[in-house]
Amino acid sequence: MSAPARAAPLLVFDLDGTLVETAPDLVATLNVILAREGMAPVPYETARNFVGGGARLMLAQGIKADGRIVEPARLDRMFADFIAYYADNVAVHSRPYPGLTDALDILEDRGHRFAVCTNKLEHLSVLLLNELKLTGRFAAICGQDTFAIAKPDPEILRRTIAAAGGDTGRAIMVGDSETDILTARAAGIPVVAVDFGYSEKPVAQYKPDRLISHFAQLPDEIAGISFDN
């Protein structure tokens, strides 16, 4: 008798720069908060590369770009203002990347389930995906505050996989940055990188297992990743 077929691997996606083009709304929010504090705006092409480490880091980089140093209490206040403004403007211009929904349909038909592992705060991640009508696609949506752990610590990825009912031995990460690749490597799972996200250097330099330039390529690349178990 042949062995029963194994479940298709769980696919764990980064959010900003991978599933959704969020930089327009994040950069707009950053520059609103900087302007309130009398600081210069950051050009879009520079600030888009600040995305991925979370709002506090994005703010810190924006402040540094203006040549400023601020005390922790002021940064805390700016962070709170950033979160409040962004929550009200989370999907003004943010959109799923081309081909995403078609790729998810194909992969779902092949038995894959999906999760999100992001350094965005969980409630903002859920709010954004709700606005884009994508929330129901994911078995778990986990942010840096979900477990008080942020990428590249692999524990956030392991816990996201567990929250989605998956197995670290049969999971694949999909992301856009060195951080995502380091996280996946440390967790011992394969990683597919997208080259259209927010990596300051070409993401191919970080040697992901697979690289795609459009979501239409994702189903075939996922199918090409083999597991020993």
Half-sphere exposure of 228 (CA within 13 A, CB side): 5
The closest alpha carbon to 119, from 79, 83, 152, belongs to 152
Separation of first and last alpha carbons in the chain: 18
Q: Please say if 176 is a catalytic residue.
A: no
- Catalytic site residue from 14, 16, 25, 176: 14
Nearest Cα neighbor of 75 from 86, 64, 85 is 64
Instruction: Give the number of other Cβ atoms within 10 Å of residue 222's Cβ.
Output: 22
Q: What distances in angstroms separate CA 167 from CA 3, 81, 157, 183, one per listed residue?
A: 19, 38, 11, 16
Phi and psi of 9, rounded to 5°? Answer: -60, 145
Q: ω before 152 within 30° of 0 (cis)?
A: yes
Catalytic annotation, residues: 14
